[in-house]
């Protein structure tokens, strides 16, 4: 069990820190590769989920592509030996510098999110005398039924090009000689635990794919993004998600033509269960109605509970107490939202006990901040 190793090495580890299980990451990648290769699907790793260098390195060695949303992510991918022919660049607000850099590196594809972005990429490609491969990021208006902050595929969201703009896009493309349209890109949201939104996405993709074919665009790439969710409630029982069922939905419902490849951009499902945030209890404060366990980790290390009211399993991994008590488990930051969980049942907890906040491998370390001038969070690995 990963906790034993942490407790054994505590004198060398300084809390708070992220602890990553690289064996679990490898096992997860093995399943992703086995299940996606059944259908010849291409999987890109969504860098935004975690850019810790050890993790990126292992993912690169397993041959995944890179889905990037900033120039620095593109740079990180290329510096970590991802082939530029496997790097895609999405994002609603790509700056000129970022586009120029990606053009210089000859990345596989820009996922374009607005009409104006088409003009800008073309203009910069003309200056570099390059032909930029692009996919249109399309807003399919499919509800992902997830937290509103991580829903991206609805008309009200800022992402993508809307179907009512397609005519204009097609007219525009004819006037932009340094763009080559190679595909269609979709991403409807994140932490989607029920597969039915993906079925809906497939039928929208089929309609839109046919529309473009009828307009004379036989596009080789269909990219359906990422978003498949994990089980935050039972991290040990569901350490690896059911990738077989996930990929099967696409195989069953998407209608690809012989020359078309299907691409995915998975983040959370690859890395979330591989990481825990490990923290020490600084103080116990017993109130009339509420007891607080005050940790040395806070929203600066893991912002998900404060930002999305996200649930993470919280465990006292050092206590041998049988008696349990309910605690509000909070951090040291001067914000009331700096709370990891309310009324969490833990063994009677003392100053110095070690707490693990589970399923924190995705959108944990990458979203850490130095608010309150906190130290940068460390990371250690189970090899
Ligand atoms: N592709 C695109 C275009 C995306 O915007 C995202 C995530 C992904 C792929 C990867 O999605 P995943 O497979 O990881 O669900 N910070 C939030 C999650 C934000 C997701 C942003 N986009 C959280 O902590 O829940």
Q: Which atom of ligand 1 is nearest to the CA of 303?
A: 24
Contact (Cβ atoms closer than 8 angstroms) between residue 280 and residue 6: no
Q: Ligand 1: residues whose CB is within 6 Å? A: 46, 48-49, 67, 90, 150, 152, 187, 190-191, 225-227, 265-269, 304, 308, 362-363
144-188 per-position pLDDT tens digit:
777 776 666 666 677 889 999 999 999 999 999 999 999 999 999
Q: Which atom of ligand 1 is nearest to the CA of 191?
A: 15
Q: Which atom of ligand 1 is nearest to the CA of 226?
A: 13
**pLDDT at residue 154, rounded to an integer:** 67
Name the residue at shortest CA distance from atom 8 of ligand 1.
Answer: 226
Give the 3-state DSSP-derived string for 218-250, with helices as H, strands as E and coil as C: CCCEEECCCCECCCCCCCCCCCCCCHHHHHHHH
Average pLDDT over the chain reads 95
What is the Å distance from ligand 1's center to 371 Cα? Answer: 23
- Which of 47, 48, 112, 270 has most ligand 1 atoms within 8 Å of its beta carbon, as the pocket-test mutant? 48
- Judged by phi (left if over 0) then psi (alpha if -120 to 50, else beta), residue 367 lies in alpha
- Which of 194, 226, 271 has most ligand 1 atoms within 8 Å of its beta carbon, as the pocket-test mutant? 226
Contact (Cβ atoms closer than 8 angstroms) between residue 331 and residue 298: yes
Rounded-to-10 torsion of CA 211, 213, 216, 222: 100
- Give me the residues paired with residue 287 across strands: none
Rounded-to-10 torsion of CA 316, 319, 320, 323: -70
Q: Which atom of ligand 1 is nearest to the CA of 269?
A: 13
254-283 per-position pLDDT tens digit:
999 999 999 999 999 999 999 999 999 999
Which stretches of the chain score pLDDT less than 50? none
What is the Å distance from ligand 1's center to 190 Cα? Answer: 5
**pLDDT at residue 152, rounded to an integer:** 67
Name the residue at shortest CA distance from atom 22 of ligand 1.
Answer: 190
**pLDDT at residue 263, rounded to an integer:** 98
**pLDDT at residue 134, rounded to an integer:** 98
Name the residue at shortest CA distance from atom 1 of ligand 1.
Answer: 225
């Amino acid at each position: 069990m990963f906790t034993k190793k942490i407790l054994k090495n505590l004198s060398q580890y300084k809390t708070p820190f992220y602890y990553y299980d690289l064996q679990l990451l490898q096992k997860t990648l093995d399943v992703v590769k086995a299940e996606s290769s059944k259908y010849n699907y291409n999987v890109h790793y969504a860098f935004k989920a975690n850019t810790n260098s050890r993790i990126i390195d292992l993912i690169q060695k397993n041959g995944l592509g890179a889905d990037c949303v900033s120039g620095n992510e593109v740079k990180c991918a290329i510096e970590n030996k991802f082939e530029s022919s496997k790097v895609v660049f999405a994002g609603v607000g790509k700056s000129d510098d970022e586009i120029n850099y990606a053009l210089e590196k000859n990345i596989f594809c820009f996922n374009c999110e607005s009409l104006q972005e088409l003009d800008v990429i073309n203009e910069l490609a003309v200056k570099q005398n390059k032909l930029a491969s692009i996919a249109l990021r399309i807003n399919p208006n499919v509800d992902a039924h997830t937290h509103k902050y991580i829903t991206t595929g609805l008309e009200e969201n800022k992402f993508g090009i809307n179907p009512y703009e397609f005519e204009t896009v097609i007219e525009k493309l004819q006037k932009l000689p340094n763009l080559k349209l190679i595909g269609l890109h979709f991403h409807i949201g994140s932490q989607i635990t029920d597969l039915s939104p993906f079925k809906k996405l497939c039928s929208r993709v089929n309609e839109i794919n046919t529309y473009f074919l009828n307009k004379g665009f036989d596009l080789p790439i269909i990219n359906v993004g990422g978003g498949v969710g994990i089980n935050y409630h039972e991290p040990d029982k569901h350490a690896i998600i059911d990738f077989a069922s996930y990929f099967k939905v696409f195989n069953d419902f998407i209608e690809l033509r012989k020359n078309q490849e299907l691409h995915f951009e998975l983040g959370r499902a690859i890395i979330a269960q591989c990481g825990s945030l490990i923290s020490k209890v600084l103080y116990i404060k017993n109130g009339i109605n509420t007891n607080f366990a005050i940790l040395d980790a806070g929203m600066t290390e893991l912002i998900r509970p404060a930002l999305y009211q996200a649930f993470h399993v919280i465990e006292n991994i050092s206590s041998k107490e049988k008696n349990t008590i309910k605690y509000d488990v909070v951090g040291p930051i001067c914000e009331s939202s700096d709370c990891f969980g309310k009324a969490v049942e833990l063994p009677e907890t003392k100053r110095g006990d070690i707490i693990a906040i589970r399923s924190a491998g995705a959108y944990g370390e990458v979203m850490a901040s130095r608010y309150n001038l906190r130290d940068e969070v460390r990371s250690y690995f189970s090899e």
